[in-house]
Chain A
Amino acid sequence: MAGSSVEGQARRTADVAGDALIDVEGLRVGFPGRHGPTDVVHDVGFSLRAGECLAIVGESGSGKSVTARALVGLAGRAATVNARRLRLGGTDLTGLSDKEWRRVRGGRIGLVLQDALQSLDPLRLVGAEIAETLANHRTVPRPAIPARVIELLEQFRVPEPEVRARQHPHELSGGLRQRALIAAAMAANPDVLIADEPTTALDLSVQARILDLLAERKADGTAILLISHDLSVVTRLADRVAVMFAGRFVEHGPAAELLAEPRHPYTRELLAALPALHAKGLRLSSARGAGAAGQVPGGGCAFAARCPLAIAACRAAEPELAEVGAGHSVRCPRTAEPWPGPTTPEVSRRPSWTAAPAGTVPAGNGGVVLAASGLVKSFRSPDRTTRRVVDDVSFELTAGETHGLIGESGAGKTTVAQLVLGLLEPDAGSVRLLGQEWSPAREAARRPARRQIQLVPQDPMAAFDPRYPVGAVIGEALGTAGSRTPRRQKAEVAELLELVGLDESFAARRPRELSGGQRQRVAIARALAPRPAVLVCDEPVSALDVSVQAQILDLFADIQAWSGVAMLFISHDLGVIYHVSDQILVMRDARVVESGRVEDVFARPRHPYTRELIEGLPRSPLPPRAP
């Protein structure tokens, strides 16, 4: 099957209608906007054959999910869907009635969404969910349904299928839920499976197993349309990749070729932004990457605003999709131009302070600013059993260095962060901050030193008082109101905003008006406001798009370079951890199973779990570049 895709991808012309399962040409989806209807998907075309996987990649808001939904008639009531051709194995999908759509959905196209908990009815048993698909499409005779449900769960590697079928979705783990959802989507044996971010909320090892499952379906001849923002997921499954930007396919071609030799500037930027083994110590974001996607008024290329290769012609008219190789087309005339190479971080801004100035760090202990030793913390579960969430965790943070803490959800990472921050008292063990007792300690005694250790949260919106504009959010962290004049406070807020790459006009804006990346910048500015010696970053980039993530990671590198702040950086993403860390701590089931210098651990992982993690890391499709 995989072999036939090579020739299949070369032909996107009219005659493929016969052997393509899905054949789309000139797809447009529009939504009514404030200034009249706007095209969210713009002239998209592709075909998909049995046993083939096409991945659509793009940042949030690029239109990839809407494209997928349009194929099952679920683009939304307000949406207007137009296509020159929209066919499913010989059936014309344009102008289907609701009844006909229902036969297509589940029967011929299965849909798997990101959040299995939201896609499954919380009040229904898992088995009933799968049985519904079977009954709706009369796949098997009614009396045979229960047996078939068990069979399906078994087929999709759900352990103890009889038990699971009688459980509610919330009783299953995220990975099992996703498997049950795929089983439900595949119950009626559809020819095509659309998977919209199927692994995004899952842990790395669970992710790998779900992808294996999808790969098996593919090998059985199911055509898979994979929607993802994560290139590492894409590389494992896709035969072809389409890169979407501002509602358009900007590049579309064979996966291996496209990832190894990206042609469109956006694809190049995306791949460069990926924290991978070769990019350590280099900047991830391009110098002009800070700008958002902007619609060029004259109808030019949407990427021109942040494209380092853009010329006047790009802004004047939108380039057409043009073939650059076999089945490889790009919407850019400047694919032959050399891409500006990655730069090393340069310390451009020298602020008026450094973390842990001379004298505060006790001399003679190698610059250790925070020492955690033998931390233990247990929580009581609702069923009255105690569970150790942190067990005998010790580490030392050094000024100017970053400790990466990696582990799956539930491994105890966030609890470690809270213990270190003094938001939780350890059951045993202690934390010393700048040579002083820090935890356990009386809150009143700890309060004066609080400013020395600050948190950068995963979800800035939840960590900002909902009534506060940005200026007040940062101002609060500067210190007690009244200790400085309003003018001085305003100046300091402006200075902090500038440090994180925002101008002072942001002070008056509301956090909810900002993009995810801007909010995270505000959160970082706030964490820097008390001039801490230690920054605890709890999954600070896990909710961000790759290119925004690259900018934030570069910002962290800058901050550390000029302030010498020590960082504890928590993430579940090994690529991110590798990129930012000097030292690494691998946590599993409440314990640190491996620690050491990041290069050593990556070169010679000793613990089986670390080895599994590192083997799961996608091999970079890019050749290593010289710094």
Chain B
Amino acid sequence: MSASVPLAPLSLSDRAGAGIRAVSPAVAVAMLFLLLIAVAALWPGVFTNTSPNAVNPLVALRGPSAQHPFGTDELGRDIFSRVVYGTRTSLGVGLGATVIGVVCGSAAGIIAATAGRAVDGLLMRLCDIMLAFPGLLLALVVVAALGPGSLNAAIAIGVALVPGFARLVRAQALMIRGSDYVKAAVTFGRRPVVIYLQHVLPNAIAPLLVLATIGVGSSIVAAASLSFLGLGPQPPSPDWGSMLAAGQDYLSVSWELAVFPGLAVTATVVAVNVVGGRLRRAFEGGRGVGWF
């Protein structure tokens, strides 16, 4: 009813509107942090003048100081600079993997939903098989086949994400295909191709994008895990995961080596999850249908 009768629970639009406008301090801090991370990935020079690979054995394994805010590693390299420069690879692998997972997953999901029972069965059984392996193990197998490196790590993690996204998109597409608005489009005389492009695809993928945002966080962790095992970007290029691995040996001597890259990973993932969760809630408020 109208404004005079506020008995009816707030309409969806009210909640969605409030959800988008009202941002809690935690979300604001997380968003600010992600902005800084993005700047660090694109223009690391903004934050530090020190080269991440400048070796100076004279100052090896020093604690934090004015000159080296995060201290130095076993070769005397500035840890702050390496964390800043490491952002690009860590974030790049995490984002790249998610993009690969979303694109291939949605394609597979849409094909499974449309191409008939045989193709659907084949694709979904394939997904079942892939899902039977832990994601990281699957990524390890792919890297073992392709060889180490940033791009291969991204591909490996992305491939492990494909079956989950594919299933999701397929389920969404099947649900939307049976929806009243698709039936309505049929009654307007629309061709199936047009209906798929105009209604099924966008509505099936929209919820996935929100989920993918949260997925970026776990991809960054997976990327760090792979490079911790020496399967990611190769030295001397700075990277959070390999820095953690190197710091492990000096943990008893110098805590800075492992703690700062570890903090970088943790803070980024937490920030991504906080923002992703907020997005998801705004999205859920925005439409009462769907899976999430």
Contact = CB atoms under 8 A, between A and B. Distances in A.
B8 A61 contact: yes
Interface in B270-292: 287, 289
Interface string B179-193: 111011111110100
Nearest to A450: B189
Interface in B1-50: 1-8, 11-13
Nearest to A41: B7
A467 B188 contact: no
Interface in B187-207: 187-189, 191, 198-199, 202-203, 206
A325 interface: no
A169 interface: no
A466 B1 contact: no
A40 B187 contact: no
A455 B187 contact: yes
Interface in B163-191: 179-181, 183-189, 191
Contacts of A451: 188-189
A150 to B, nearest CB: 39
15 contacts: A40-B7, A61-B7, A62-B5, A246-B4, A247-B7, A293-B1, A293-B2, A423-B183, A423-B187, A449-B189, A451-B188, A464-B184, A466-B287, A476-B185, A512-B13
Q: Choose among B2, B4, B180, B187 the residue with the greatest number of A CB atoms under 10 Å from its CB.
A: B187
B188 A476 contact: yes
A585 to B, nearest CB: 21
Contact of A459 (B180, B186, B188): B180
B283 to A, nearest CB: 11
B1 A515 contact: yes
B23 to A, nearest CB: 18
**Shortest 4 CB-CB distances between A and B: which pairs?**
A295-B4, A450-B189, A61-B1, A463-B180
A457 interface: yes
B183 A447 contact: no
Residue in B1, B2, B7, B13 with the greatest tally of chain A CB atoms within 10 Å? B7
A294 B2 contact: yes
Q: How big is the B interface, by class?
A: 20 to 34
Contacts of A463: 180-181, 183-184
Given A60-B1, A513-B13, A465 B181 contact: yes
A453 B187 contact: yes
Given A59-B1, A447-B189, 11 more contacts: A60-B1, A61-B8, A63-B7, A292-B1, A292-B2, A295-B4, A423-B187, A459-B180, A462-B181, A467-B202, A512-B12
Given A60-B8, A61-B8, A512-B12, A462 B180 contact: yes
Interface in A189-212: none
A457 B7 contact: no
A475 B25 CA distance: 41
Which one of A292, A447, A453, A467 has the highest number of Cβ atoms from chain B below 10 Å of its Cβ? A467
Nearest to A63: B7
A298 interface: no
Interface string A431-472: 000000000000000011111011101010011111100000
A38 interface: yes
A340 B244 CA distance: 83
